[in-house]
């Protein structure tokens, strides 16, 4: 379904979906979805004894501890998750290869981890080409994620390094919020041959009611054929006291009407999602948001688009 067709399906009629139950959801809630597998394109794991994560020192509960494969397995038990893409976890920058090798080990333990979005110091410019090629020798790497600022996106050296990514068949996961959207849009337009993935639907402040400005830029991003939107992180941006699918639905609907079903993918954002609720709570919410889509459209969102985007 393209954006025009989606507008005609009456997706907004799902506003009466109601409350998502608190706590761990009954596994029976997923039975009707088991025939469609789900690829989780945003998995984090970390072992504090292996690498250093400065951001976690002030993160507090529930994140300031190890999160390993057995923890994730317990979190997704009973869900339709069948493949995963690991996304870098902001360890010390110099430990990026160490993280890739560690994730490769995790993928040997769980074959469902099919790819990784790794960190790379792109600010080094074209001088980093050899190191970037070394990174891509790790076959698990499918894309790059590096935080950006307005200044960095305007830096010529950084842009030269970013331009190299498409030639190496790497995508770029772009994690931005409202203050950076204008500059990020201009930045993305410089690289029509590079595939970009907008993490966490652009991080709108759902709790604060931020919509109009966010929606304007998301529509602009959607006009660029090389941009895909990741449906992730939404419940962490919403008011936890409401817990209503209704609060998220206008944002989901706008993403769908803008990007269509061919350029949207699902991400669990575990364990960061624990700030707002369990993995079951988030994936149940996502499945409810997709309620009015056809089986073929669900297949695209749940796994087919992800397999194409990340080549898994």
CATH number assigned to the domain comprising residue 273: 3.20.20.140
- Cβ contacts of residue 285 below 8 Å, gap of 6+? 20, 234, 235, 245, 248
Contact at 8 Å (CB) between 3 and 260?
A: yes
The string of pLDDT tens digits covering residues 190-205 is 999 999 999 999 999 9
Contact at 8 Å (CB) between 235 and 249?
A: no
Strand boundaries in the chain, DSSP class E:
38-43, 81-87, 113-118, 141-145, 171-174, 196-198, 227-231, 264-266
Query: In the numeric block, which tokens belong to residue 127?
Result: 């001088």
Residue 13 has pLDDT above 60, yes or no: no
Instruction: Provide the pLDDT confidence category of residue 35 given band limits of 50, 70 and 90.
Output: confident
Residue 122 has pLDDT above 60, yes or no: yes
pTM score of the predicted model: 0.90
**Percentage above 70 pLDDT, the chain:** 89
Residue of 169 and 8 predicted with greater confidence: 169
What residues form DSSP beta bridges with 11? none
The string of pLDDT tens digits covering residues 229-252 is 999 999 999 998 886 899 999 999
- Taking residue 239's Cβ as centre, other Cβ atoms within 10 Å add up to 14
Query: What's the 3-state SS for 224-246?
Result: CCCEEEEECCHHHHCCCCCCEHH
Q: Pick the range with the lowest mean pLDDT from 54-68, 89-103, 193-207.
A: 54-68
- What is the pLDDT, as a whole number, of residue 34? 54
Number of domains in the chain: 1
- What is the pLDDT, as a whole number, of residue 27? 46
Residue 108 has pLDDT above 60, yes or no: yes
- What is the pLDDT, as a whole number, of residue 29? 60
Query: In the numeric block, which tokens belong to residue 273?
Result: 């999602």
Residue 21 has pLDDT above 70, yes or no: no
Contact at 8 Å (CB) between 237 and 221?
A: no
> Can you give the residue range of the structural domain that contains 196?
3-310
d(CA 209, CA 203): 12
């Amino acid at each position: 379904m393209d954006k025009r067709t989606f507008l005609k399906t009456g997706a907004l009629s799902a506003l009466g979906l109601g409350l998502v139950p608190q706590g761990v959801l009954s596994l029976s809630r997923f039975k009707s979805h088991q025939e469609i597998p789900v690829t989780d394109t945003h998995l984090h794991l970390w072992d504090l004894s292996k690498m250093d994560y400065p951001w976690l020192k002030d993160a507090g509960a529930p994140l300031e501890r190890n999160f390993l494969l057995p923890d994730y397995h317990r979190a997704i038990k009973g869900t339709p998750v069948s493949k995963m893409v690991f996304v870098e976890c902001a360890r010390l920058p110099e430990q990026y290869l160490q993280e890739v090798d560690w994730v490769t080990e995790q993928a040997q333990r769980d074959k469902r981890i099919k790819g990784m979005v790794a960190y790379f110091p792109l600010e080094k410019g074209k001088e980093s080409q050899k190191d970037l090629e070394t990174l891509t020798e790790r076959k698990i790497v499918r894309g790059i994620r590096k935080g950006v600022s307005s200044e960095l996106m305007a830096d010529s050296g950084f842009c030269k390094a970013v331009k190299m990514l498409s030639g190496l068949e790497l995508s770029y996961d772009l994690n931005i919020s409202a203050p950076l959207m204008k500059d990020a849009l201009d930045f993305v337009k410089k690289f029509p041959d590079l595939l970009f993935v907008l993490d966490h639907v652009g991080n709108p402040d759902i709790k604060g009611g931020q919509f109009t400005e966010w929606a304007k830029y998301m529509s602009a991003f959607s006009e660029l054929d090389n941009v895909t939107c990741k449906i992730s992180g939404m419940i962490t941006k919403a008011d936890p006291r409401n817990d209503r699918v209704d609060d998220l639905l206008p944002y989901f609907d706008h993403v769908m009407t803008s990007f269509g079903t061919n350029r949207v993918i699902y991400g669990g954002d575990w364990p960061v999602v624990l700030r707002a609720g369990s993995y079951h709570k988030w994936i149940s919410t996502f499945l409810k948001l997709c309620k009015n889509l056809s089986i073929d459209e669900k297949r695209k969102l749940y796994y087919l688009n992800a397999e194409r985007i990340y080549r898994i």
